[in-house]
Amino acid sequence: MADFQTHIGTSTVLGIGWGVVGYNFGIELECCMLAGGLCSVSGMLPDLDSDSGTPVREMSTFLAAIVPMLMLERFQSFQWSREMMAFVAMFIYIFIRFGLVELFKRYTVHRGMWHSIPACAACGLLAFLIVGDADLNCRFYKSLAVVLGFMSHLVLDEIWSVSLRSGRLNIKRSFGTAIKFWSKDRWANFSTYAKVAVLALFAIGDPMLMEHYGYESRFGEHTAQNILSRALEFAGIQPVTPTLQR
């Protein structure tokens, strides 16, 4: 399989290209630069399930630092005080740096479902939810940058699974374990697709997205009810509003 330098080098080149493409399409320079950086580091995301310490250590440290900063605009939309923002940012840092890493060590295997197309989709959806940018086009652009970086890792792993020796094509046992939609582990399949479904539901119910398309959405006690109602309407089911009996 491709090594750390190959993965990060490839995703960095793709990130630069993605930034240039976005700038040529009229996206602000700052957004293009950040999207390029996200694409670069996302090239190492699949290796969070690695037994090697380098990818996990580097990615966990970076994510713990950058995620709270990406969520700053979302924090401000909640009208939180600076003290509250700082507290939540510290909590996110500790959770990612120690809790999330421990979860990956215990519940993932290398080249399992974390190396898959649905895992890539989950990271893209999570990036969309984390980035609290008021500009929806910029949010989509950054989210796609994460998907591009993640996919570059999967593609490289598949390329490195094929080699040419003595004029003969040699296919390694690892071929097909990166770009896949499911694995042999049924529970891992169910868990991965369930996460994708939940993240997609939250993305659809995101207030900024719904307001952009003319829907009213509020964070609070009615948020889950609104999301469920939209999902039922999308499926062609008329939601029933309960009435109080006098």
Mean pLDDT, rounded, of the chain:
81
- Degrees (nearest 5) of the Cα angle 121, 221, 197? 20
Structure confidence at residue 219 (pLDDT):
47
Q: Measured between alpha carbons, how far is 108 from 135 in angstroms, rounded to an integer?
A: 35
Q: How confident is the model at residue 174 (pLDDT cuts 50, 70, 90)?
A: low
Whole-Å CA distances, 220 to 32, 92, 160, 203, 224? 33, 21, 48, 16, 8
Q: How many CB atoms lie within 10 A of CB 136?
A: 15
Structure confidence at residue 242 (pLDDT):
44
Token digits for 152? 């570059």
Token digits for 110? 């290398």
- pLDDT tens column, 13-61: 999 999 999 999 999 999 999 999 999 999 988 888 776 666 677 788 8
Arithmetic mean of pLDDT, 177-204: 90
